[in-house]
Chain A
C-alpha cells in the first residue's frame, strides 16, 4: 500500500466459470500458472502497479464468480468499475455464446464508459479450438471491444491485455471522456497525481457524488 502511483483503477474479470479467469489474474499478479504454485502463499485479492505512458497506475482486480446461478446476485461487483476483462475459452463454444449476456450486464451495471477487452483464453490448446480468431475478432469489432487471445499457462498476452485496457482508460481521461472526479468512475488519484494537480492550482470541477446503490 505504501507505493506511489498516479491513478487507481478498479478492474473486473468476468466470464463463464472455468474459462480461466482466476488463472489470468494469478498469472498477471504472480507471473506463474496455478500448477506451479503449490507452495505459494496465494494472493486472493489482485492488486498491482504498472507503468503506462509515463504514468504509474495501480490496478485493483476483482475476480468474479461466473456460475449461471450467481448471475442475478453478482451485480454489485460492477459498481464503480473502470475496466473489465471479458473472458471466454476458445475450446468451449458455450462460453463464447454467453459473451453477449456478460457484455449487456457490464454496460448496464458499470457505466457506458467502462473499457472492455475481450480475451480468448487457453490459446495453448489450439488443437481443441472451437472458436476461430476471425469470428471472435468480428464480434469484438461489432461491439467496440478490444480483442486479444491469451494463454494463462504460457503467459502470452496476459499482461498486454491489462496494459491495453489501462492505456485506453488513460486516453479517455486525457480526452475528457472519463471524469475521474466522479465517484462512480472507478478511478482514484494516487499521491503523485494529487501533488501534480495541487501545484498549478487548477480549478477543479465540482465533485458530483453518485448514489452508491
Chain B
C-alpha cells in the first residue's frame, strides 16, 4: 500500500502541485506530496503500526529468553539480538525520513521496546543491557530477608552515606554472584577483602576519624554481605575444605584416648563448677558451625575460651596463663570434635574483616584455636611424653572393633563431658559390680555346701574310730535264780519265828 502511494506521489509531483489526498490544498515534496494536515494523519497511522510490531517483537524475545534460562542453553541466548537487529532493519527500511525523524523514531523504538517487558518482569531491569534478561526469582531464606531488613534499617540512620553504602553493597553482591562459579576460594577471598578495604577507606573519609563508627558500620556490612554469600563461599567446591574436614574429624576421633594428664591440663573436672564450664566450652565451639557471619563464629570461639579460663581459674584459684590455656583448649577440641572445623577456620580467615583478626581479643582466641588444631594434626608420642610403643598401642588398639565392644577396653578416666556417656559408663560400672557380687554369692554357697558335707563325714568317721579303740564286751547274764543265789550266799540265814505261851 505504502509503496503504491509513494510511486503515485513521485509521478504526480512532476506534473501537479496539489495535495494527493485531494483536499484542495497545496502539497509539499518533503511530505511526499501531501499537505501538512494529511501528512500528520498518515504519520499517526504508521506510528501505530510500529508500536504493534514492537510489542509483538518484545513478547517474542521475552519467551525466547525465558526458554533459554530454563534450558540454560547458551546458544539460544545469541539469537535474540540477531532477531532484534534484523527486525529493526526491516522496520526502518519501510520509511524514508529526515535525520531528525529517524532519531526520534529510534528513541521511540527503544523506549517502547523496554516498556512492555517491564510489566512482565518481576524486578526492574538494568537499562545498561539492551536485551532485557528477566531474572528467575529466587526464594531467599527467611534469615536472609531479616538480615536485609535489619541492614536497611541500620543504614537509614546514616542518611545519604547509608544509601551509598547500600548501593555499593548490593552491586558487590551482584558481581560476586556472577563471578562465583569461575573464581577459586582464594580469589573470592581477595574480592571480599578488597571490598572491605575500599569501603573502610570511604567511610574513614566521611566520618573523619571516628574509627568506632567505622567499625560499627563495617560489622553491619560484613553481616549483610556474608549472610548473602554464605551458601556459595562456605566450603566451596573448588577447594579441598571438605576433605580436610573429614581428615580432621577422623584424626580427633582416633585421639579419643588422650587424657588430661597427658596434656598437662590444669583442670579438675570433679569440681561441679569446673565441669559445668567445660561443658559450656564444648557447647560453644560446636555451635560455631551454626553461625553464618564470621564475627558470630568468632564470638563462639571467644565465649568458649572464656569458659576455659574460668575452669582453669576455679581449679588453680589463680588467674590462668597461656601456658595453661593452650593445652586446655586442645583438650576441649579433642572432646568436642566440632563439625566442619577446617571449613570454619578457612571461612573466617578468608572472609572476616582483617582488622579484627590481626589484633583484638577475638583475633587472639582465634589464633589460639589455629594453634590447637595445628598441634592436634602434628601430635605424636613425644608431644604427650609417651613412648612410641605406648602411643602406637593406644592408636591401633583402640581402633580395634573387638576391643571397643569389650567393656574392659573402655577408657579408665571416664568422660564427664557427655552426660549420656557418663550414664552409660555408670551403668556399665554398676553391672560389673553386680556381676562380681553375684559371683561371690555363688562361690559362698558352693563353699558352704562342701563344708556341710565334710562335717557330716568327719563326725561319722570320729565315732567309728572311738568304737574301734574301746571295744565293749558284754558277758551273757546268769538266770534270775542264779542272781538270787549269789545274794543268798552273802546273807545270814533267815530268822525262824518263835512261839511264846504265856
Contacts and interface: CB of A to CB of B under 8 A. Distances in A.
Interface in A44-69: 44-45, 47, 60, 62-67, 69
Contacts of A190: 211
B319 A34 contact: yes
Contacts of A174: none
Contacts of A192: 209
A10 B321 contact: no
Contact of B208 (A2, A66, A198): A198
Nearest to B376: A73
A37 B264 CA distance: 23
Contact of B378 (A44, A60, A73): A73
A18 B264 CA distance: 13
- Considering residues B193, B305, B321, B323, which has the most beta carbons from chain A within 10 angstroms of its beta carbon? B321
Contact of B374 (A42, A65, A73, A79): A73
A209 B371 CA distance: 24
- Considering residues A22, A65, A212, which has the most beta carbons from chain B within 10 angstroms of its beta carbon? A65
A44 B329 CA distance: 14
Given A76-B370, A194-B209, A195-B209, A37 B364 contact: no
B374 A60 contact: no
Nearest to B380: A69
Nearest to B323: A17
A194 B204 contact: yes
B321 A40 contact: no
Interface in A184-213: 186, 188-192, 194-195, 197-198, 207, 209, 212
A183 B196 CA distance: 14
Nearest to B349: A212
Interface in B347-370: 349, 354-355, 357-361, 364, 367, 370
A89 to B, nearest CB: 13
Given A1-B212, A35-B318, A80 B371 contact: no
A65 B208 contact: no
Nearest to A209: B197
B319 A37 contact: yes
A2 B323 contact: no
Contact of B359 (A38, A186, A197): A186
- Interface magnitude class on chain B: 35 or more
Given A42-B320, A73-B375, A194 B212 contact: no
Contact of B211 (A22, A38, A191): A191
Given A65-B371, A66-B323, A73-B371, A80 B359 contact: yes
Given A69-B383, A212-B354, A212-B357, A63 B321 contact: yes
B429 interface: no
Contacts of A38: 317-318
Interface in A61-113: 62-67, 69-70, 72-74, 76-77, 79-80
Contact of A22 (B317, B319, B327, B355): B319
Contact of A191 (B212, B322, B371, B378): B212
Interface string B299-331: 000000110010001000111111101110000
Nearest to B322: A63
A183 B358 contact: yes
A62 B204 CA distance: 28
Contacts of B313: 42
Contact of A70 (B193, B326, B358): B326
Contacts of A195: 208-209
Contact of A79 (B211, B306, B321, B358): B358
Interface of A: 1-2, 8, 10, 17-18, 21-23, 25-26, 34-35, 37-38, 40, 42-45, 47, 60, 62-67, 69-70, 72-74, 76-77, 79-80, 183, 186, 188-192, 194-195, 197-198, 207, 209, 212
Q: Considering the complex of A and B, which 5 residue pairs feature the smallest CB-CB distances, nearest first?
A: A22-B321, A194-B209, A65-B326, A63-B322, A73-B374
Interface of B: 193, 197, 204, 208-212, 264, 305-306, 309, 313, 317-323, 325-327, 349, 354-355, 357-361, 364, 367, 370-372, 374-375, 378, 382-383
Given A42-B313, A191-B211, 4 more contacts: A44-B319, A45-B361, A62-B367, A73-B371
